[in-house]
Amino acid sequence: MKKVFVVFLLLASLVMGSVLFAQVTQIPREEAVYVAGFQWGPPTTDNPLAGSPMTFVSDPRQHIWIYETLFTWDALNGKYVPILGESYKWLDELRLEVKVNPKAYFHDGEPVTADDVVYSYKLGQKYPLGLQIWEWLEDVYKVDDHTVIFEMKPDNPNRLMVEDAIGATFILPEHIWSKVEAENNYDLTKIRQFRNENPVGSGPYKVFYESPETIILERVDNYWGNEALHGGKKPAAKYIVHPIFKSNDEGSLAFENGEVDVSQQFTPRIWEMWEEKGLPVGTWYDEIPYHMPATMPSLWFNVNKYPLSLPEVRKAIAYSVNYARISELAMSNYSPKVQASLIMPYGGEAKYFDENLVKQYGWEYNPEEAVRILEEDLGATKGKDGIYVLPDGTRLGPFTVECPYGWTDWNASLQIVAQSARAVGIDIQTSFPDAPIAYDNRQTGNFDMTMWAPSQPGPAQPWLRFQIALYSKGVPEVGQIAYSNFGRYKNEWADQLIDMIPKVTDEKELKNLYTELDQLYREDIPMFPLMYRPQTFYEYNETYWTGWANAENPYAPPMPLVGAGMEMLWHLEPVK
């Protein structure tokens, strides 16, 4: 007897207080891959232009099941994987040429052409969609049906961000969305209210079912990429099922029980599942750190609030933090030793990392050095309550450090930060507001200290991380919404270096510029990393499906069926 997943689709209308009818859909377990950790809360819309759409149409850097991008970034190899884009090359100092795959078509059979590409990017020019690329782009235009030119502004070119952008925008069908625009009088507020039921994209899956508890995608059997990109092979799973859990604990239990096949949730002490319980569970590495480091969640200072405006205070806090304890207790040893640098010592940007300078000028857990800075450099004295006071009478705290409630690994990290600081004589207290409040506080500068990760992997790293952390041009004052440099740090030389780097192609010169910028960062320390974290957690259970990529079989990066990790869909096989 086939095991089946039973979804109760309650198609109901209330007439005289009664339910009209109900329908049951049965999905064979061996045809469905269950994923978890992307959707938190009921889906409200399938409109990718809306503020918070259903997860499978929300992030073009990852969620390319339905709508696709030109390329997707493979952080494992530090290069782009072609999707709708066949190739790209720089024609000169200002123009990037992209070739569109002539075999690509949308779910309704209409071809994907240069017109759709131009249309999709120009939506970000026409409406405030947060598509930052138009800060550097002069124009995007069609040469022929399968050739697009991205032309930069002569007075403000940025190759890094243009290359980043070709993997960060969904290509929407112009023949559908131009009508949506017209029907809503080109009013973005109204366009965003369009629910986009049964979205038409070009990807390998389409929406099959949505409810507050579950999202199901169904395979597009005539997906153009099966033939053009995968040698005529279809994805093994006919369905992608995403149960919507209420907590990490609920999702982790379902994963452990084999009810979820692959997850990007934070699951503490995951090695116990195979070492102690003998379960068919795996991660990218089968030993510490288990996951591939890719991002750096960091502690950001509001550098305009005295005495956090003093670099010595910020550096004393950085020396006080017990990073090993964060890795062990908050991150289940998923973070290797964190370095005093905005350059990741892993992946494609590791070539710019200077280990000697980090050792010489960086910080690490050293409470004695924290005390030395407080007493000798700042002249602070310890009060009767154990908290240091500056010569002008300013007590070092209470300061508040915050991140969203329910982000358990981050919450635990900040509790360790507060405990570590208190141990050396700095009073830091934690605050965990609901996510919308924490987001608003971070963006408006309404914080003492806050925790956030500066950016994801991509072709613009590590420049983009420096730009987000340090660049002051165009950043609004405290009280207004900022999308970067949340602490409102200002340094003219840092701004100049950040402006210079995208114009440089010589690797030796780039290395020198990044070294200088990283040194400046270490001197001023407006924020500092608390841990290294994967781009997405990647955990798989082989109860029903086998063939998952890992460090021993790295045919795809450790991304749970998202981004370049979608390649796994064509390699998985059902367990017999």
* Segment 209-253, tens digit of pLDDT: 999 999 999 999 999 999 999 999 999 999 999 999 988 889 999
Question: What are the b/e assignments for 33-53, b being 16+ CB within 10 Å?
Answer: bbbbbbbeeebebbbbbbeeb
Structure tokens at 31: 């045809």
List CB contacts of 336: < 8 A, sequence separation 6 or more: 288, 289, 293, 327, 532
Distance CA 402, CA 434 (A): 10
148 with 163: CB under 8 angstroms? no
User: 466-469 long-range contacts, Cβ below 8 Å, gap at least 24?
Assistant: 466/342, 466/494, 466/497, 466/498, 466/501, 466/514, 466/517, 466/521, 467/498, 469/298, 469/342, 469/521, 469/526, 469/527
Which superfamily does 59-193 belong to? Answer: Dipeptide-binding Protein; Domain 1 (3.90.76.10)
β 85-90/95-100 pair status? antiparallel
* Segment 151-207, tens digit of pLDDT: 999 999 999 999 999 999 999 999 999 999 999 999 999 999 999 999 999 999 999
Share of the chain above pLDDT 70, in %: 96
Cis ω for the linkage preceding 289 (within 30 of 0): yes
* Segment 302-342, tens digit of pLDDT: 999 999 999 999 999 999 999 999 999 999 999 999 999 99
Residue 480 pLDDT exceeds 80:
yes
291 with 565: CB under 8 angstroms? no
Structure tokens at 102: 């002539």
Query: Rounded to 5 degrees, what angle do the CA atoms 184, 124, 98 make?
Result: 125
* pLDDT band, residue 407 (cuts 50/70/90): confident
What is the pLDDT averaged over residues 17-41?
Answer: 69
Give me the amino acid identity at 107: H
Question: Which of 533, 515, 495, 530 shows the shortest CA–CA distance to 301?
Answer: 530
Rounded to 10°, the helix 492-500/507-524 angle is: 160
- In this chain, the answer to whether the domains covering 59-193 and 205-287+537-574 adopt an identical fold is no
Residue 357 pLDDT exceeds 50:
yes
Question: Which of 457, 490, 488, 485 shows the shortest CA–CA distance to 469?
Answer: 485
3-state secondary structure of 339: coil
Query: Rounded to 5 degrees, what angle do the CA atoms 364, 369, 374 make?
Result: 125
3-state secondary structure of 420: helix
What is the pLDDT averaged over residues 373-390?
Answer: 97
3-state secondary structure of 489: coil
β 214-219/205-210 pair status? antiparallel
Question: Which of 370, 368, 367 shows the shortest CA–CA distance to 314?
Answer: 370
CATH ID of 298-529, from 3.90.1300.10, 3.30.1330.60, 3.40.50.720, 3.10.105.10:
3.10.105.10
At residue 484, the pLDDT reads: 92
| Bridge partners (DSSP) listed for residue 335 | none
At residue 25, the pLDDT reads: 55
Residue 288 pLDDT exceeds 70:
yes
101 with 226: CB under 8 angstroms? no
Return the domain boundaries, the chain. 59-193, 205-287+537-574, 298-529
Mean pLDDT in the chain?
Answer: 92
What is the pLDDT averaged over residues 554-569?
Answer: 96
pTM: 0.86
At residue 17, the pLDDT reads: 30
Distance CA 1, CA 339 (A): 54
Distance CA 41, CA 31 (A): 25
* Segment 444-475, tens digit of pLDDT: 999 999 999 988 889 999 999 999 999 999 89
Give me the amino acid identity at 196: N
Instruction: Give φ, ψ of 160 to 5 degrees.
Output: -60, -45
The residue to which tokens 């598509």 are assigned: 131
| Bridge partners (DSSP) listed for residue 21 | none
Indicate the helix (H) or strand (E) that contains 389: strand 388-389
Residue 3 pLDDT exceeds 50:
no
Residue 4 pLDDT exceeds 50:
no
List CB contacts of 461: < 8 A, sequence separation 6 or more: 344, 348, 349, 455
CATH number of the domain at 205-287+537-574, please?
Answer: 3.40.190.10
Question: Which of 56, 199, 169, 171 shows the shortest CA–CA distance to 104?
Answer: 171
At residue 9, the pLDDT reads: 38
What is the pLDDT averaged over residues 431-437?
Answer: 90
